[in-house]
Structures are given as structure tokens and as C-alpha cells.
Amino acid sequence: MDPRDQEDRSIQKASATDSDSSDGSGECGVASPYRWLRRLSRELHWSFVLTVFAVYGACQGVGNAVGVVAATYYCKDVLRVQPVAAQFYQGIVNSPWVVKPIWGLLTDVVPVAGYRRRPYFLLAGVIGVSSMLMLSLQRNPGIVVGVVALTAQSTGAAMADVTLDALVAQNSITNLPLASDMQSLCGFRSSVGSLIGFSISGLLVHLMGAQGALGLLSIPSALVFSAGNLLKERRVTDFDYKQVHKKFYTAIQSMGATLKCPEVWRPCVYLYVSLNLSLNIQGGTFYWLTDRLTGPAFSEVCTYPTYHQFITN
């Protein structure tokens, strides 16, 4: 069958589904999000929607929000490092997000046991759970142990993020009419998760301490692991692993050709220069806001709202 005919049929099918779901059924407003999620679950399979919830909602949304506050208190109260050192260690912890193209190449080029997405979700979940449990159970953690554990958790989150991005891109190609819906689903899950995470992060640190709150980050990673187990994915057969190096070379060439486009490299250069030339005093501001002698001495419960408002203004 001609791919264009198949694409036209998929568009007609999606349009028919939209018209059926928007008929006068007597339902309005409140029921629409439910129908929307049910439609995505039917067209893309419920395991994909669950994976979006686990990665964007739980891991990136709630996990990153709680992790930002807990890790900052962990460096200040547990590791007892100065703001300059804390900013340096934070740069190390964030390094896995800088090398995201590497994770993207792996999930696109190197399938594991015939699957391109599931094994990387499983690996990301294992890394996140083991690192956060190890960090939370250490009574007297050193700086090296703490930074390694936080970097490992960041690696798992970055790997899950890139793998889901690749999955969304793949589904957007095969289900073109639902591409915008998938982007809306990802943004909605991430926003709601971040709102919940920042609302409870200070309270968790106040009740459980920084290490206890970091230990709870193993729950989002466990959800990512579960999503990887349940994800419906077509198995790749007859893959020639001897040609992996050639596939890597072809993929790198494609990336290089894309970066040569002015529409791509100009925004990249602007973002790179603007981010590297802008001063970041968030670490020092946090230490001052929570200092009991020379600062306002805000508690864990109200630190983030005040801190966030101070920085953004």
C-alpha cells in the first residue's frame, strides 16, 4: 500500500473519531478530558499514556520538583558545603542532561533483546531506584557518595526523558493526526507533576529531612521501571549488531547535516551564549534565605515559594 494512501486513511479515521466524540452526547466540559485520555489510550495503547504519566508526570514533574529542594538542603545541611562548592557539584549532577544526544543515539541505533525503548526505561528505573535508596540509607554519607548518587539519579531521569521523546516522535510519525495531542499530554503531565511536587517538597524535607525526601525519589523511578515492563512495543527481528558502528556513523552524519541548517544552529548558538553569559546566584541566594544568623531564616515549608519568587522577580 502507498504510504500516502495509508496516511490519508489514518487522517480520515482520526477525523471520524473526532466527529463521533464531539456529537451531541449531552456530555460537556468536565467529561472532555476523560474522553480525550480515553481516545489517546485507544489509538496509541494505554501503556503509552501510562509511560507518559510515569516519566513526565512522576519522574520529571514530581521527582525533579522534590529533588531540587531536597538536594539543595542535602548539600547545605548534610554535606555542609559552601555555595561555591554546591554550585560546582550541581553542575556535575546535571551533566547527564548535557549529553542527552548520546542517550538518543543509543535508543535509536542499538536495540536490546529486540526492543528499542523498553530496555532503556528498565535501565533508567533501576539506576534511579538503586541510587536514591543507597543515598537515603547512608548514615554518614561523604561528598563523593552523595554526588555520585545524585548524578546516577539524574542519569536515569535523562535516559527516561530521551527515550520517551523518541517514542513520542515515533508515534507522531505513525499517528500524524495525534501528534499535537501527544505534545499536549506530555506538557499537561509535566506541569501537573511539577505543581504537585513543588507544593509538597518543602513539607517532605521538613518532616523527613533531606535524605528521606531524596529516598522518596525512588518511587518515580520505580514507576518508570513498571512502565517499561508494561509498554507495548514491536520487537525488532534480524538486527545485525555488526553494523551498529555504521548506523552510529549514519546517525551522526544526519545530526551534523541538521546542525548546518541556519534555522537550527542560530537558535542553538544564541541559547548557548545567553545561558553561559548569564550570572547564576541561586545557590548563594538559597543559603542566605535559610541562614538563621544573617538571613531571613525561612523554614523548609516556605523556602521554595519565597525563593522562586525572589529569583524570578
Q: What is the pLDDT of residue 110?
A: 83
Spatial separation of the C-alpha atoms in residues 232 and 121, rounded to whole Å: 12
Q: The pTM is what?
A: 0.77
- Weakly modelled stretches of the chain, pLDDT under 50: 1-4, 6-7, 10-30, 305-307, 309-313
Q: What is the pLDDT of residue 125?
A: 93
Q: What is the pLDDT of residue 24?
A: 40
Q: What is the pLDDT of residue 120?
A: 92
Mind spelling out the 3-state secondary structure of the chain?
Answer: CCHHHHHHHHHHHHHHHHHHHCCCCCCCCCHHHHHHHHHHHHHHCHHHHHHHHHHHHHHHHHHHHHHHHHHHHHHHHHCCCCHHHHHHHHHHHCHHHHCHHHHHHHHHHCCECCECCHHHHHHHHHHHHHHHHHHHHCCCCCHHHHHHHHHHHHHHHHHHHHHHHHHHHHHHHHCHHHHHHHHHHHHHHHHHHHHHHHHHHHHHHHHHHHHHHHHCCHHHHHHHHHHHHHCCCCCCCCCCHHHHHHHHHHHHHHHHHHHCCHHHHHHHHHHHHHHHHCCCCHHHHHHHHHCCCCCCCCCHHHHHHHHHHHHHC
Averaged pLDDT of the chain: 80
Q: What is the pLDDT of residue 29?
A: 43
Q: What is the pLDDT of residue 203?
A: 87
Q: What is the pLDDT of residue 297?
A: 58
